[in-house]
Structure 1
Amino acid sequence: MASSDDDFNKFDTLSDDEYLVLIEKFYEKNANNFAFPHLDLEKKQRLVTELFSRLRSFNSNATHLCLKTVRLLTRDREGLDALTGSSVLEPLQKLAGLECTKVDVNPVDVQNVIEAQKCMSNLIYMSPAVQKFYSVSGVADAITQRIKETTATKLDDGIRFFDMRMLFLLTALNADIRQRVREKFHGLSYLFEIINQIMSSRSEPVAAADSDVTREEILRSEIYFDKRVTLSNEDIDYLIEILKTLYNLTVDLPNLTHSYAIQEEEEEGHLMRLVSILRELLLCYGPNDEKQMDLRNHIINLLTNMPKTCFEELLSPAVLEDENGNDEHNGKNMEAINIILRFLDHRITKTEGTKNAKDALLPVLQLLILMCQSNRTIRKFCRQFILPPLGDEVLNLPTEGQKLRNKLTRMMTNPNSELKTLSAKLLFVLCKESVDRLIKYTGYGNAAGLLYDFGLLGPQHNTNKDQYSSDSDESDTENYKKIRDQYGIDPVTGRVNVKRHEDPTEGWTEERKMVEVDKLVHTLDRAMTQGLIKPMVMDPHGNPIPAESVLQFREANLLAQHPDNLRASESSDDEGDGGQSQANKPK
C-alpha cells in the first residue's frame, strides 16, 4: 500500500473489509517508523480523508486500528497539514470524550479513548495550528471538568494519564488557558486532591518495633506508627505529569513568585498547602532509585516557583522518638531538606563534566539559594551539611575530594557561566555573604570570579548583613586551629602553606641581585609596551584596571604587601582607610 499509487487511487472502490486489510498492512509495516518519506502531503490527505469518512461505520476494533494508524502519521512533522483540519481534529476530540458540551466522565470504549488522546497529544505538541484549534474548542476546559467529576471515582489509568499530558501541553503553550484552569475551574485544588489521593492509597502504616498494638489500633492512631508511601511506576509517571502541569499553573502568578509580600491570602494559602504536599511527596519511595530521582527532580522544579514565605512548610516539628537525629535541627524535622541536598550531591556526581550538567543542576541550585536566603533554619542546616567546621580538610585544596563542598568549589570555575555563578552564590549565601568566610572555605582563587561579578574585590564587607542573624556560626575544630597556627593557611589556595623550595638567590651578591632586578623591570616594561601582557591593579573602588606603567604596578604590589606603611603617608583628609571604606560601602 505504502509504495503503490494505485492503492491510494482505488480507496473509493474498496469495501470496508478490503480497506481495513490495506490499513492493517500499512500499520504492521510502519509500526516502528517515525517518518514517512514515501508519503507526500497529497497521499497523506487522501489516506486520512478516506479513513475518517469510513470511521463512523466501523466497529470498536476497526476504529482502534484506524486510530493507531493515525497515531503513526502524527509522529512525522512532514505533511502534518493533512491532519490539522477540523475534519480530523473534531472527531478525535469526540472519540476522546472531550467535547466541551458533552464530557464523557465514564468512558466505555477505553482503548479507543486512549488512542484518540495519543493522537491529540502528538498533534498538540507538533502543530501550532492544532494548539490554537484545541484551545478554542475547549479541550482544557473539558479535561478539567473530567478531573473534577472523577476525583472521587475511578477513571482508567491510561485515560487520566493522557488527560494530564494534554493539560500540561496546553497550559505550557497558552497563558489564557493557564489562567482559566487556575481561576475559573480551580484547577490547583483538584490537582492537590489527586496527589493526596495517590499518596493515601499507597500509604502503609509501619508500627514501632517494640509495639504490641494490632493493625486496627494502629489505623485508629497516628501516635504509634509512621506512614511509608511506596509508589508504583504508573503512579510516578502520572504524578510527574501533574507536577509539570502545576509548574505551568504557578509559573506566572502575578506578584507572587519569589516575593516576600504575598498580596492574595487565598493564593498564599493554596501555595503553602502545595509546598506542604510536596514535602510529603519528597518523602515517598519509588520502585527504584531512578524513578524516585525523576520524581524528586520535578518536585524541585515546581518548588522553584514558590514564594520565599512558603518554604517553612518544608519543615515539620521534630519527633523526639525519631531515630534519625541527622534530620533534626532547631526542633524541626529537616528530612525534606536533607533529601534535596542529597539530590544535589547525586546530580553533581552523575553529571559533573558532562553536557547535561547545566539542565540537571540549575533548578536545585536555584531552589537551595532561595530557601537559604529566606529561612534561617534551612540555611543553618544546609551549612552544616555543605560547609561543616574545617579540620584536616585544609591539608588539601578545596577542589580535592568528593564532599559536597569540594564539588561545589570545583563548579565555581565551571565554563558554564550560570552553573559557575549559582554554585558560588550558594556557598556565598551559606557564608552569610561574608567575603572572608567564603575565601576561608573555597580559597581566593576559586572565589575571585564571584567577587568580581559582585564588585567585592575591594575592601571586604558583608553586602547584606541585615538579612542574616547576628550570631556566629564559626566553630573551627581543634585540628584546624592547630594546623592554622603551625603552618598558616594560604588564602589564595585555601589550604595550608606548601613548603617552599630554597631561595634560588641564596649566595648572590647585592650587585648581582640589582642587575637581575633591572633586567626583569626592563623585560616587563617592554612586554607591557608591546601589549604582550597587561598586568592589573586595583582602583580606589576595588575594581581591576590595567597598569599604565611598571612603576604603578610596583606601587600597587607594595600597597598590597605593606598597606599600613603606605597609608601613613596619605593625606590627613583620609584617617586610616576610613575614606576608602566609606566609599566602598553599598549605597
Structure 2
Amino acid sequence: MSGKLYNKVLLIMSTYYRILLKFFSKFASHIKLQYIKIFSEMSKIGEINFQLQQYKPDPTVPTKTNIENIIIGIENKQKPLYEQALINFLVKEYQCFDIEELKDGDKRQVLWNSLLKLTKNTNDNDLLALIFTVFRVIARDQASINTLVTPEWLNVIMSHTGLNDKTFDYTDDKLCKIEEGLKVIWNVLFNSIELIESSIENGFLTKTLDRIRLYDQVHVPDVIKFFDTKFIFYMSARSIAVRKQVESSCGISLFITELSVILKEASESASQSPTLPAILNDQKADIACEALKALFNLTLNVSLKDENECQYKDLIEILRNYLLASTVTLEKTWQLRNHIINLLMNIPAMYYAGLLTLIDDATPVPKSLRFENNNMIVIFEILMFLEAKFQDKNSIKEQLEVFSPILTVLLKAASTHRSMRKFLRSHILPPLKEMEKRPEETDTLRGYLCKLLTSPITQISNLVAELLFVLCKCNTTRMIKYTGFGNAAGLLAQRGLLGGEKDADEANFSSDSGGSETEEYSEQKHLVNPVLGCVEKPHPNPLEGMTDEQKEYEVMKLVEHIDNLSRSGIIKPCRVGPDGKPVPIEHVLQLQESLKDQHLNDDDD
C-alpha cells in the first residue's frame, strides 16, 4: 500500500465532508446526522503531508456489502477490495454503537476473525491502525465482547502496541497504530469485568506495569503513558484482585516515580529551572490525573506500618510539587488540584507536615505566606481552590462531591498541625471588624462556610461545623462569635454544648486568645445579636398601633399554629437536658421546671 493509509482516510473523510456541504447544502437535512458529526470532527485534523491517491469513501455502499467485501477480500487476499470496504465501513459506522448488520447470525464473529487474520499477516502500520479502529467499533457490543476477545487476539494486540517487548522502538510511524490498539483494549476492558479479572492470568496487567517501570529509563510517548495509566486506574477500581496485585507489585512507588518523570519532562521541555514550579501541557496533565486516580485506589486501605512511612513521605512530597505546578489551561489546573485533594484524604494526617517547607533565604516568599518560619504556599493553594469552588455555581449544586474532599483535608490538617490551624484561622476567621452583616452574607471564606452550616446535606454541614469549631479551638463562645448561635446550634446540640458547657477538646489547645478581638468589635460587642452574629438593624415594632384585643388575638393565633405543628409531629418542643443536648418534652410545664433548674444553677454560681 502506498502512502499513509490511516491518515489518508482521515483526510479523505474531511475532504468529502466539505464536498458534501458544497453540493448538498440545500438538502443538508437529508444527510444523516452521524455523518455530519464524523466529517466535522475529521475536518479539524491538522496538516497531513502526503497526496490523496486512490481511495475515496463511498457512504452510499450498504454496510452489509462493506462487511462482506472485507471478509471476502481478506479471504481471497484482494487488497484493494478490503481496504476500500474498511474505509467505507468506518465512514458510515464510526459513531454507531448498535450496528444491525452485525446481528445477522455469526456475522460479527466472522468479521472479527477475518480482521484478526489480516492483523497477523501484515506489518503495514497504517493498515493496522485502520483495522484497530474497526475493531474498536465492533467491540462496543457488550453482549459479545467476552466471546470475541480470545487470548490469541489479545496477544496479537499487545505485540503491536509494544507490551510484549521491553525493547520496543516507539517510532513516529508506529504511534498511530499503537494509539488505536490501546483504544481497542480500553473498549474491551470497559465493557467486560471478566476480562479485567483475567488480566492477572493472561499477563496484560503485569506487562502494563512493566512498561510503566520503564518510563524513567526509556522514552515512551505521552499518549501511551496516558492509556497505560488509565488502564491500571480503571482495572484497580473495578477489581479488588487487580488492586491487590498492583499493591503487591509496589504500585504506589511505581506511580510516584511516574509522577516525578512527568514533572521532570515538563521542566525539560520548557527549558525551565528545576527549582521553579513545573508547567504541564494538557496531555501531561491528563497523565498525572490518571496516576493520581490510580494512587487513590491503591491508598484506600491506609496502613501505618513502618515500611510504609517512607512511601507516604515520598507521596506527600510529590503532591506538594504538583500543588505548586500549573497547566496551560485553567480547567486542567483545577482537575489536577481536585485529584490531589482526593488523594490527600487517604493519607494519614500525621504526614501532612511534608506539605510545608522551611523558609530559605535563597527563595523569596511573600510575607503573607510566611508563618512560623514555614512556607505556607501549599495550604494557601488549597484555600484558593476552595474559594474558586465557592465561586462556581455548578459546585453549589453538587456540594457533597465538590466540597467534602477539600473540607476533609482542611479539617485533618487543622486538627493535627498547629501551624496549619493557625494559618487557616488567619484566612478563614480573621479578627472581626465589620459587624453590620450576618456571617453568611459576607463574601469571604467565613461567609461561604457559614452558608454551608445550614446545608440540607448533613455530611457537608457537619464537616464545615467541625472545621470552624477546630479553628475556634473548640471554644463555644468563639464559635458563636464568628458564626452566630443560629448557625452553630446544630454542632452545639450534637456535642452537648447547648447548656454552656465547655467542650472536652478545648483543653487540647493553648489558652491564648491570639488577639482576635479588634477595637472595632469591642466597640460594637454590646450591640451584637448572638443568634444572628451581627449588629441587628432597628426594625419597626409589628405590634405598634394595635389594641390589646388585637395583640391577644395575634398571640392566640400563633399559639394555635405552634400547637398544630407540634401535634402533627413537624416540630417538637425541646429543653436542654443534663448532657447539654436537646431533649423533647411532653408538656409545657416541663419548660417551667427547666427554667427553675437554670435559676438554681445560676444562684449556685
TM-score tier after normalising by the smaller chain length: 0.7 to 0.9
Question: Which of residues 543, 555, 560 is equivalent to 1:504?
Answer: 543
Instruction: Please tell me whether the aligned partners of residues 450 and 487 of structure 2 are also in contact (alpha carbons under 8 angstroms).
Output: yes
- Give the aligned partner of residue 56 of structure 1: 120
Output the amino acid matched with 1:478.
E
Q: Within the alignment, does 1:372 sit opposite 2:414 as a pair?
A: yes
Which TM-score applies when normalising by structure 1? Answer: 0.82
Post-superposition shift, 1:308? 1.4
1:314–1:336 CA contact under 8 A, matched in 2: yes
The match for 2:430 among 369, 388, 393 is 388
> Match of 2:379?
337
Counterpart AA for 1:545? V
The aligned runs of 1:416-495 (5 Å cut-off) are: 416-485=457-526, 487=527, 489-495=528-534
Partner of 1:551: 589
Paired AA for residue 535 in structure 1: P
* Residue among 217, 239, 244 paired with 1:152: 217
**Is this contact kept in 2: 1:205–1:227, CA < 8 A?**
no
Alignment of 1:12-411 (within 5 A): 12-14=71-73, 15-16=76-77, 17=79, 18-36=81-99, 39-40=102-103, 42-58=106-122, 59-77=124-142, 79-99=144-164, 102-108=165-171, 109-184=174-249, 186-203=250-267, 227-253=276-302, 255-256=303-304, 263-264=305-306, 266-320=307-361, 322-351=364-393, 354-392=396-434, 394-411=435-452
CA change 1:404–1:521 in 2 (3 A) is closer
Provide, for residues 65-110 of structure 1, a one-character-per-residue CA deviation record: whole Å limited to 9, x for no partner: 11011112334545434534334333223322324xx545434533
8 Å contact 1:442–1:494 — kept in the other structure? yes
Amino acid at match of 1:333: N
Q: How much has 1:277 moved relative to structure 2?
A: 1.5
Q: What SS does the corresponding residue of 2:276 show, helix, strand or coil?
A: strand
Shift of 1:555: 4.5
In 2: Cα distance, 1:157 partner to 1:529 partner: 65
Kindly tell me: are residues 162 and 521 of structure 1, through their superposed partners in 2, closer, same or farther at Cα, counting changes over 3 Å?
closer
Superposed displacement of residue 39, structure 1:
3.5
Mapped to 2, the partners of 1:522 and 1:203 lie a distance apart of 71
Q: Distance in 1 between matches of 2:392 and 2:426?
A: 23
CA RMSD of aligned residues (A): 3.3
| Cα distance in 1 for residues equivalent to 2:100 and 2:260 | 47
The Cα offsets for residues 242-269 of structure 1, whole Å up to 9 and x where unpaired, read as 212222222224x33xxxxxx31x3101
User: Is the 2:215–2:261 contact (alpha carbons within 8 Å) kept by the matching residues of 1?
Assistant: no
Structure 2: tracts of 5 or more residues without a match:
1-58
Deviation per CA, 1:436-475: give whole Å up to 9, x if none.
Answer: 2222111121122233334433433223234433433352
SS at match of 1:369: helix
**Alpha-carbon displacement from aligned partner over 1:375-424 (angstroms, at most 9, x marks no partner):** 111111001110111111x2111110211111111011112222222222
Cα distance in 1 between the residues matched to 2:387 and 2:198: 44
> Structure 1's 10 and 421: CA in aligned 2 closer, same or farther, altered over 3 A?
same
CA 1:524 to 1:337, structure 2 compared with 1: closer, same or farther past 3 Å? closer
- 1:428, 1:72 → 2: CA distance? 55
Structure 1 residue 287, shift from structure 2 partner? 0.9
The more displaced of 403-412 and 286-295 is: 286-295
The structural deviation recorded for 1:537 is: 2.2
Q: Which moved more, 1:443-452 or 1:77-86?
A: 77-86
Query: 2:5 corresponds to which residue?
Result: none
What is the letter of the counterpart of residue 26 of structure 1? F
In 2, Cα distance between equivalents of 1:22 and 1:452: 72
When the two structures are aligned, how many residues end up with a matched partner? 536
The CA distance in 2 between the partners of 1:391 and 1:292, in whole Å, is: 34
Query: What secondary structure, in the 3-state scheme, does the structure 2 residue paired with 1:98 have?
Result: coil
1-structure distance, mates of 2:196, 2:602: 69
CA distance in 2, matches of 1:524, 1:5: 73
Confirm or deny: 8 A CA contact 2:566 2:572 kept in the other structure. Answer: no
CA displacement at 1:139 relative to structure 2: 1.8
Give the secondary structure class of the aligned counterpart of 1:545. strand
Between the aligned partners of 1:196 and 1:526, the Cα distance in structure 2 is 66
Asked whether the 8 Å contact 2:197–2:242 carries over to 1, the reply is no
Preserved contact between residue 104 and residue 146 of structure 1 (Cα < 8 Å): no
- For residues 180-233 of structure 1, the C-alpha deviation after alignment (integer angstroms, 9 at most, x for no partner) is 33443x333343333233323444899xxxxxxxx9xx98xx9xxx52422211
Identical positions, percent: 28
Counterpart of 2:376 in structure 1: which amino acid? M
Alpha-carbon distance change, 145 to 525 in structure 1, aligned in 2, over 3 angstroms: closer
**Residues 529, 388 of structure 1: alpha-carbon distance in 2 compared, 3 angstrom cutoff:** closer
In the alignment, the residues of structure 1 paired with residue 440 and residue 585 of structure 2 have an alpha-carbon distance, to the nearest angstrom, of 31
Return the alpha-carbon distance in structure 2 between the equivalents of residues 312 and 245 of structure 1: 23
Native 8 Å contact 1:285 1:292 kept in 2: yes
String of CA shifts for 1:515-550, please: whole Å, max 9, x gaps. 779957984896488547642223322332333223
Secondary structure of 1:537's aligned partner: strand
